[in-house]
């Protein structure tokens, strides 16, 4: 999509606040809600007709629902995708992710990671430039009332740099060009291991970033798309969210948040190790 032309976006399955953020960044916005009675392919056909009718120059689908892949394929077909459907599929589909990592050769998919909490590396990508917004400590799922993520993670500079390097290399490998990614990583003696990737705006990062840094990811996704430099969020405090994404509270430090609740230990299955 050329920034020299009128910028018209079709937002698919977007919250009204998302449309307001896109409009606030200077885009001409149309929205289209999911139609539950349609198949994914039928809904994708409706998206293509709506994009043509409104003269859309880009189709944005930040949702990860059942029709999302068909919508991204339709956007690809009409040259309106801001990132390819294949890039998202290879990241978010477990088999696709493993194949992607195996093909590259820098990632080792053998073995099991240590049991226990891992990290969530939350990114915003515009025009293929990846911005790591926050690294969180991620707790095992034990019900919606327990702490699930704490931001920011209490990690040292070297470990933080390794996490950033692993995740941005992975996004480059997939040729991910636009949107949000939530990458689940666990530490291991031979380097961070990637467990899974989720694309879209459904992660808990938004609430954590708003609570700790006053930073709204969707606002900056569209402002970045409009050509503004995306700033790095600077946390003023720590915060925790539960399994439903609700902020449970804030504190001066991650350790103070962690002491506020007892969270059972858990285990995960490794997908990959970056070396």
Pairing relation of β-strands 58-60 and 28-32? unpaired
Give φ, ψ of 188 to 5 degrees: -145, 165
For residues 245 and 204, is the Cβ–Cβ distance under 8 A? yes
CA distances from 67 to 24, 38, 47, 115 (A): 27, 9, 11, 34
Rounded to the nearest angstrom, the gap between the alpha carbon of residue 109 and the centroid of all alpha carbons in its chain is 22
Q: Are residues 155 and 256 in the same domain?
A: yes
Please say which residue of 82, 114, 139 terminates a domain: 82
CA distances from 117 to 113, 138, 169, 255, 263 (A): 11, 6, 23, 14, 10
Q: Are residues 41 and 126 in the same domain?
A: no
Strands laid side by side in the 129-138 sheet = 107-108, 272-274, 193-199, 179-186, 118-126, 129-138, 149-151, 238-241, 247-251
Read off the pLDDT of residues 205-218 as tens digits, 9 standing for 90 and up: 999 999 999 999 99
In a domain, 110, yes or no: yes
In a domain, 89, yes or no: no
Q: Are residues 173 and 257 in the same domain?
A: yes
The per-residue pLDDT of the chain, averaged, comes to 86
Q: Are residues 57 and 109 in the same domain?
A: no
Higher-pLDDT residue of 79, 111: 79
Return all residues near 75 (Cβ < 8 A) that are at least 6 apart: 47, 51, 58, 59, 61, 81, 82, 85
Question: Residue 141 — pLDDT band, cuts 50, 70, 90?
Answer: low
In a domain, 88, yes or no: no
Read off the pLDDT of residues 8-65 as tens digits, 9 standing for 90 and up: 999 999 999 999 999 999 999 999 999 989 999 999 999 999 999 999 999 999 988 8
Q: What pLDDT does residue 46 have?
A: 97
Q: Which residues are 251's β-sheet partners?
A: 238
Q: CB-side exposure of 27: number of CA atoms within 13 Å?
A: 32
Domain CATH for 29: 3.40.50
CA distances from 171 to 107, 129, 181, 269 (A): 13, 10, 9, 21
pTM: predicted TM-score of the whole model, two decimal places? 0.88
Q: Are residues 59 and 144 in the same domain?
A: no
The residue range of the domain holding 228 is: 99-274
In a domain, 87, yes or no: no
In a domain, 16, yes or no: yes
Please say which residue of 82, 115, 140 terminates a domain: 82
Q: Are residues 103 and 66 in the same domain?
A: no
Using left for φ > 0, alpha for ψ between -120 and 50, and beta otherwise, residue 214 falls in: left
Q: Are residues 171 and 259 in the same domain?
A: yes
Return all residues near 105 (Cβ < 8 A) that are at least 6 apart: none
Q: How many of the other CB atoms lie within 10 Å of CB of 77? A: 12
Q: Are residues 183 and 263 in the same domain?
A: yes
In a domain, 94, yes or no: no
Read off the pLDDT of residues 155-176 as tens digits, 9 standing for 90 and up: 899 999 999 999 999 999 999 9
In a domain, 23, yes or no: yes
Asked whether the predicted pLDDT for residue 145 surpasses 60, the reply is: no
Please say which residue of 82, 107, 130 terminates a domain: 82
Q: Are residues 107 and 59 in the same domain?
A: no
Asked whether the predicted pLDDT for residue 266 surpasses 70, the reply is: no
In a domain, 169, yes or no: yes
Number of independent structural domains in the chain: 2
Domain CATH for 148: 3.30.470.20
Q: Are residues 127 and 255 in the same domain?
A: yes
Q: What pLDDT does residue 61 have?
A: 95
Strands laid side by side in the 28-32 sheet = 28-32, 8-12, 58-60
> How would you write 132-178 as a 3-class SS string?
EEEEEEECCCCCCCCCCEEECCCCCHHHHHHHHHHHHHHHHHHCCCC
Q: Are residues 142 and 240 in the same domain?
A: yes
Q: Are residues 55 and 167 in the same domain?
A: no
């Amino acid at each position: 999509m050329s920034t020299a032309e009128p910028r018209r976006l079709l937002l698919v399955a977007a919250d009204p606040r998302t449309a307001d953020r896109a409009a606030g960044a200077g885009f001409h916005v149309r929205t289209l809600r999911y139609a539950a009675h349609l198949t994914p392919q039928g809904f994708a056909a409706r998206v293509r007709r709506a994009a043509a009718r409104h003269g859309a120059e880009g189709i944005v689908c930040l949702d990860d629902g059942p029709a999302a892949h068909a919508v991204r394929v339709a956007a690809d077909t009409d040259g309106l995708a801001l990132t390819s459907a294949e890039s998202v599929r290879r990241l978010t589909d477990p088999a696709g992710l493993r194949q992607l990592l195996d093909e590259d050769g820098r990632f080792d998919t053998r073995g099991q990671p240590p049991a226990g909490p891992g990290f969530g590396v939350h990114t915003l990508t515009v025009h293929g430039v990846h911005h790591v917004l926050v690294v969180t400590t991620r707790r095992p799922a034990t019900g919606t009332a327990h702490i699930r993520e704490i931001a920011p993670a209490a990690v040292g500079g070297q470990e933080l740099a390794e996490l950033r390097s692993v995740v941005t290399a992975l996004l480059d490998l997939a040729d991910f060009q636009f949107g949000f990614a939530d990458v689940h990583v666990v530490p291991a003696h031979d380097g961070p291991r990637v467990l899974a990737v989720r694309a879209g705006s459904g992660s808990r990062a938004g609430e954590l970033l708003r609570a700790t840094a006053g930073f709204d990811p969707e606002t900056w996704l569209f402002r970045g798309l409009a050509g503004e430099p995306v700033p790095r969020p600077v946390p003023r405090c720590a915060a925790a969210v539960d399994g439903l994404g609700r902020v449970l509270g804030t504190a001066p430090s991650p350790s103070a948040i962690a002491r506020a609740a007892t969270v059972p230990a858990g285990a995960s299955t490794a997908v990959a190790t970056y070396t």
